[in-house]
Structure 1
Amino acid sequence: MSSDSSRSLSPVSQALALGVILLGTYLIPKIVQWRKRMVKLNAIPTVGNSGFFSSYISARRFKDHAPEIIQEGYRKYPGQAFKVPLPDRWQVIVSGEEMIRDLKKASEFDVSFDDAISETMQTEYTLGKEAKNPYTIPVVRSPLTRALPSRFHDLRDEIVASFDSLIPAKETEWMKVSMLYTIMQIVSRTSNRFFVGLPLCRDPDYVNLNIHFTIDAFRDALTLRRYPSFLKPLARQFLGNVPACMARAEKHLAPLIQERLAKEKEYETQDWPDKPNDLVTWLLDEAYTQGNGKRPEDIVNKIVNYVILINFAAIHTTSMTFTNSIYYLAANPQIADPLREEISPIVQELGWTKAAMGKMIKLDSFLKETQRLSGVSGLSMDRMVLRDLTFSNGTVVPAGTIVGTASYGLHHDKAHYEDPETFRPFRFSDIREQDGESLKHQMVAIDPSFALFGGGRHMCPGRFFAVNEIKALIAHVLLAYDVKFEGNKGVPSPVWSGASYTPNSSAEVMFRKRAEA
């Protein structure tokens, strides 16, 4: 077409021409790609409705009835994959040893744990830009875990101090305690005694910041997942404010970090005298290592973010697990004495140490059984599929899909657990007494029938710290208090929002100081 004829086109014609170009170069390829992906997804059976509009009805039902829906798919498609609709995407769920093994073995080029977390936690909106970072996992996996034996006395000291402060029960009367928020305060103080030490771990504003950042992030993620993708930026405007939380955290942590950097400069070495063995040090050292002897200019801001993010992970999981354990203990007071009979002589022999925690087989079993029945989610091992993933049985999960395992179904499966609906606190310790089974059924062990800590390349690196901390917390409760529910109630009903599980936040437990303590 000549330039003269081009100029003669009306504005409407020019707009139509541009529309055709846009359609041909951008929209049509996107539509073709979407259709190819949906063909592969449609080959996977659905629990619920699969229509374009009717699937939103099923997505709404999943919010309130996720355990039943997961169980339905687990029973209907044993050893296979099925999918459930969520408001903003499809979730593929796999079951059976073969498919779970395939998912565990999948390479980092095929699936991504980080991308799945970014999607499920809506990190772009809830946790900030540092949620994906190079420092935290190596630190949690190595120096943090290695420091447990030498720093265990700090955990123990803060456990005693926080319980004395927050649950000052007497021998002569019962004290009613609102559990979940109280436990979050205890866990925040105990974890941060290990992370940042005294006096910051007891600072009320710092404790409050970590707790509410954790609560807000999960609440906001759950809220955002109810919206289609195109509405999330709008919905985000009415939710929590990550930058404000990080600015508040910086007031507490920046002076501490700057003091460490000043010491390095003063002594002209990283290994200056009396260097603290804590999370701030480990993060600074990891940044130095990954930077080949240099740290980024914004290192103070980065370390502040990383400390808060590690707190987020530690406080949520540990608080949920600890609260569930207290509820089961209060609902089953008859198991307290057998646990005390194990704990007391071990502590007398080994003291309050990591080695002592490792000897508490019945306590480990009790904790693992409570998590088998409750846990923190109905799904585990979530992975974002980066390129089409073909399982051994021929199932193809297309790129861009989140795939996970049905942990709720697995933990209630008769094929794995005798009488699976019954709480048997010493289920795993009884098994461990058999020949060759002493290590296989620990709470932290890799167990194909137990999915609390995920599996494969991304099995939770903080599980050793978390389990030892929870053991120390429960052991303290058992030796220092009697606990029960008023009126001998059973375990209070949890709150489910989709596949996410939260212990009842309004339940109260009765505490009384033990004379023996």
Structure 2
Amino acid sequence: MNFPDTNILLLYAVLSICWVVSISWLLCQQKSAIPVIPGSDGLISSYLVALRFLRRSNEVIALGYNQDRNGVFRFARLFVWEYVAIGRKRVLELAAAPPDILSVDEALADTFQTDYTLGPGISHKAVPYRSDAGASDAKPEPLFPARFVLSGLLFHIINLLSDWKLVQIFPASVQVVARTSNRLFVDLPIWRTKLGLAQRILTVNAVAIHTTAMGLTNALYDLTTYPKHISPMREEAERVIAAQGWTKAALNNMHKLDSFLRESMRLNSSTLTMRHKVVAKDGFRFSDGTTIPYGSFVNVPGTATHHDPGTYPIALEADVFDGFRLSRLREERHGLDAGGRAGFFNRHMISTAPEHVVFGHGQHACPGRFFAATELKGMLAHILINYDIKAETDLRPPEISFAEATMPNPQGKIWIRKREMSLDGEN
């Protein structure tokens, strides 16, 4: 008779112990007063929800979101309970919590296992460094050299001919964002000689390139799905660039592009956002007494919030894509109020709010959103001025989702051709 190898038996034993420990922990946590998603109050049903969340996360979160739109609920992952806080008041309380109670860094380190993927010096700041990125004998280039480093980069994979070409947009976007970001962050001679700096830039790449590439891909999918936006945005880009050139100020004056990109991000956001880990031994307590236990993770719903007319009041039809809804609002508020003051507008692409958490909110809102917004507006303006684009089919390429992560379809394609005459005079 053949007996299993000792190492195999040991592996089975370790897995069994882990399984028993995780089940015991979940059963202990099950006693929490915070409600679970309807229909998941048993051990088996909670694990079924955990499995369902992997492929249908928006449906799972909607169950908890709709039972109390100002409450807190929880649902089981495979080895941990996940907590979700809903409503403006709770988002503000999460955003204001000090890092010794709620930690974004610990949540990121746990989620991405940065000690193993990027090294302990990144997550715990143990490696001293200084950046000489701006130190150079040569005069530094302006922020937008050579038309924002886009001409000849954006669709370098296609021939610049007048014929239409079908381009798989996400891989192209990743290449473009990677080259553009690194070219602007660090000049080429410095990039090749400063290696501690290289580590830091690679870290930035890890968290920035794919998110920005996904933003560009979603914007192009939306632009070709709703082509009525193309002509007004192209006119705006050409007019502003003709007057101000390729400058950051010019991009800030492209209000239609800004509105379009914010709308695209709103309707293509992740299921959950603003993930924090409770690091205070006493847990995190909301003002109404609701307490999230130590070691747990608490989140804010993204998709559900952005599709809810009650929490997104300017979206009269929250599920309808309207790229210019915010630029119209901006124009309305340019008038003077009763006191003779110019109207205040705080719904820019980079603006955060408890009702708009694409970039998070509060002290830990994404610090790179200013760079990402400038980069995305520059790329989209360059495309509109220099290329014609149209959809491959009548249907927008379906999104791909896994657990809380949502991304544009990497296989999706759009038709692209070089315009006969661009603003820059290129044939």
> Do these two structures clear the TM 0.5 threshold for a shared fold by scoring above it?
yes
Structure 2 residue 325 is matched with structure 1 residue 427: yes
2 CA distance for matches of 1:314 and 1:139?
20
- 2:349 is paired with a residue of what secondary structure? coil
| Partner of residue 393, structure 1 | 288
CA RMSD of aligned residues (A): 2.8
> What does residue range 24-423 of structure 1 map to in structure 2 within 5 Å?
38=29, 41-134=32-125, 151-154=142-145, 156-163=147-154, 165-171=156-162, 173-198=163-188, 256-257=193-194, 300=195, 302-375=196-269, 377-387=270-280, 388-415=283-310, 416=312, 417-423=315-321
Identity of aligned residues (%): 33
**Structure 2 length-normalised TM:** 0.83
1:48 Cα deviation (Å)? 5.0
Q: Structure 2: which 5+ runs fail to align?
A: 1-20, 135-139, 334-341, 423-427
Q: Which has the larger radius of gyration?
A: 1
With over 3 angstroms needed to count, the CA separation of the structure-2 counterparts of 1:485 and 1:132, relative to structure 1, is same
With over 3 angstroms needed to count, the CA separation of the structure-2 counterparts of 1:506 and 1:48, relative to structure 1, is farther
Contact 1:47 1:83 in 2 (8 A): no
1:364 Cα deviation (Å)? 0.2
Structure 2 residue 382 is matched with structure 1 residue 461: no
Instruction: Kindly provide the CA deviation profile for residues 460-494 of structure 1, in whole angstroms up to 9, marking residues without a partner as x.
Output: 1111100000000000011111111124x232110
- The one-letter code of the counterpart of 2:248 is K
> How many residues end up aligned between the 2 structures?
382
- The one-letter code of the counterpart of 2:404 is A
- The one-letter code of the counterpart of 2:244 is L
Contact 1:155 1:190 in 2 (8 A): no
1 CA distance for matches of 2:360 and 2:198?
27
Instruction: Kindly provide the CA deviation profile for residues 427-474 of structure 1, in whole angstroms up to 9, marking residues without a partner as x.
Output: 111111233655301011232321111011111111110000000000
**Structure 1 length-normalised TM:** 0.69
Contact 1:113 1:458 in 2 (8 A): yes
2 CA distance for matches of 1:70 and 1:326?
28
2 CA distance for matches of 1:475 and 1:306?
29
More helix by share: 1
With over 3 angstroms needed to count, the CA separation of the structure-2 counterparts of 1:110 and 1:438, relative to structure 1, is same
- The one-letter code of the counterpart of 2:410 is S
| Partner of residue 421, structure 2 | 516
2 CA distance for matches of 1:399 and 1:412?
31
2 CA distance for matches of 1:448 and 1:99?
9
Contact 1:40 1:397 in 2 (8 A): no
1:509 Cα deviation (Å)? 0.8
Contact 1:176 1:510 in 2 (8 A): yes
2 CA distance for matches of 1:187 and 1:167?
16
| Partner of residue 440, structure 1 | 346
- The one-letter code of the counterpart of 2:357 is A
Instruction: Kindly provide the CA deviation profile for residues 6-48 of structure 1, in whole angstroms up to 9, marking residues without a partner as x.
Output: xxxxxxxxxxxxxxxxxxxxxxxx99x9699726635333355
